[in-house]
């Protein structure tokens, strides 16, 4: 399941009650919140698994952090799409704030890619296209969402990375973590602040300039590039990545895979154009381009294709005795003292179909910069907050250049 840096909670133990929920296990903990798999109980043995995202108590008194947490739930409340997890509740309990969300049982697309690579098979092209097209649908829904009065919210995710794209065993892809999303519904200004992960940011996002949905298209273009070439697009220190993103065009995928399809390369590079006006205009347009490509080449790109690869790359985990006990205990409450979750799938594994492009199934050897922890950004710090120096309005230097000069000077001093 999804890997993350876990911060221990001295008050947590399995089976702890939290309001009307029962905390089963901690999934992750980040800079401002901890995430639990929880169980919501009802009458006649009814229960369902949910996710509780709980703000750290000491941060609940921080007005800015609290607003960010609340805004994430408010954004998700406006989104109703199969490729975006649902938020069911935002509340305050035990001196802190929490939100209740849909439990997505699956793996990040980074984990799925690595699982296939370890078996000597790169993710087949139809699987990559199918997953990316589902993310396109999620983004298009978010970009065009409106409030209850029909006013555009202009949501921009700002952190579309492989670690925020989850894939379930049934082949459904979910775009996770709207925690740093930009929206017109957010009343406070965020001038001079860059939020996201540098190696997946659009140039205008790195430069702290106004952004729209095309910034997310760029980020998804980076993911598409990396999944289809087996190599990282932007590597190096934060400073080196910033320079590459802003000042250098992405190298053609065919430079890394000689037989890369020319019409797919055209789509990828159009999504990665540095100037937003020249970039593919929307997530819907990107999905349409990929769909036409798949049709021209006779590729099946639906969820079933994704599911077949996932089941082959990540076989079902055997069900343990305690998990079987949970099923019986659910029929007759009292509640189990140490309930566990079922991470298994009893469905028969189906071998993945032969890919149309064999040259994209077998990765280069070795996988350049795309191996295990270096494959994609570590989840230890998925969100980078960079406070850009504010400059005088009369100055011709923008925040990116000011920050660049400052960091280079600091690196020289360190040497």
Hey, which residues are catalytic here?
159
Of 160, 103, 102, the closest CA to residue 134 belongs to 160
Alpha helices per DSSP H over 78-212: 109-118, 125-143, 203-206
Tokens 């009369």 locate to 394
Q: The tokens of 5 are what?
A: 């840096």
What CA–CA distance (Å, rounded) separates 65 from 81? 27
Are the C-beta atoms of 31 and 7 separated by less than 8 Å? no
Q: The tokens of 373 are what?
A: 């922890």
Of 156, 157, 173, the closest CA to residue 165 belongs to 173
Are the C-beta atoms of 234 and 296 separated by less than 8 Å? no
Count of C-beta atoms within a 10 Å radius of residue 2:
18
Spatial CB neighbours of 362, under 8 Å, sequence gap ≥ 6: 120, 121, 122
Long-range residue pairs from 270-276, CB within 8 A, at least 24 positions apart, any chain: 271/217, 271/218, 271/220, 271/221, 271/224, 272/218, 272/221, 272/222, 272/225, 272/233, 273/249, 274/203, 274/245, 274/246, 274/249, 276/202, 276/204, 276/212, 276/214, 276/215
What CA–CA distance (Å, rounded) separates 232 from 337? 45
Q: The tokens of 97 are what?
A: 């704030």
Count of C-beta atoms within a 10 Å radius of residue 188:
9
What CA–CA distance (Å, rounded) separates 166 from 95? 31
């Amino acid at each position: 399941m999804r890997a993350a840096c876990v911060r221990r909670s001295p008050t947590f133990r399995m089976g702890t009650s939290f309001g009307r929920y029962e905390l089963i296990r901690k999934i992750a903990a980040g800079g401002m919140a901890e995430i639990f798999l929880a169980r919501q109980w009802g009458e006649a043995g009814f229960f369902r698994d949910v996710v509780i995202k709980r703000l750290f108590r000491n941060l609940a008194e921080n007005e800015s952090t609290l607003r960010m947490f609340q805004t994430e739930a408010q954004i998700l409340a406006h989104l109703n799409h199969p490729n975006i997890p649902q938020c069911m509740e935002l509340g305050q309990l035990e001196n802190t704030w929490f939100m209740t969300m849909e439990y997505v049982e699956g793996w990040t697309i980074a984990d799925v890619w690595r699982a296939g690579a370890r078996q000597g098979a790169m993710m087949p092209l139809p699987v990559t296209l199918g997953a990316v097209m589902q993310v396109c649908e999620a983004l298009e829904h978010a970009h065009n969402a409106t409030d209850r009065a029909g006013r555009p919210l202009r949501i921009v995710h700002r952190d579309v990375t492989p670690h925020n794209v989850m894939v379930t065993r049934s082949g459904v892809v979910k775009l996770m973590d709207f925690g740093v999303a930009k929206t017109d519904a957010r009343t406070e200004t965020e001038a001079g602040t860059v939020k996201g992960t540098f190696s997946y940011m659009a140039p205008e996002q790195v430069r702290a300039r106004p952004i729209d949905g095309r910034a997310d298209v760029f980020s998804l273009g980076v993911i598409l590039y990396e999944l289809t070439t087996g190599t990282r697009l932007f590597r190096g220190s934060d400073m080196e990545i910033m320079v590459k993103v802003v000042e250098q065009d992405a190298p053609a995928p065919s430079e890394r895979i000689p037989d890369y399809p020319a019409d797919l390369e055209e789509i990828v590079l159009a999504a990665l154009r540095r100037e937003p006006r020249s970039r593919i205009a929307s997530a819907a347009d990107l999905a349409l381009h990929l769909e036409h490509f798949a049709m021209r080449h006779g590729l099946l790109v639906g969820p079933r294709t994704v599911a077949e690869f996932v089941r082959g790359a990540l076989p079902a985990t055997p069900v343990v005795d305690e998990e079987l006990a949970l099923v019986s205990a659910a029929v007759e409450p009292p509640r189990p003292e140490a309930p566990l979750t079922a991470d298994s799938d009893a469905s028969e594994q189906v071998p993945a179909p032969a890919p149309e492009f064999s040259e994209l199934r077998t990765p280069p050897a070795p996988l350049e910069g795309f191996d295990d922890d270096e494959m994609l950004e570590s989840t230890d710090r998925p969100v980078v907050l960079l406070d850009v120096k504010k400059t005088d309005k009369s100055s011709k230097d923008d925040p990116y250049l000011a920050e660049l000069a400052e960091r280079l000077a600091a690196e020289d001093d360190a040497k």
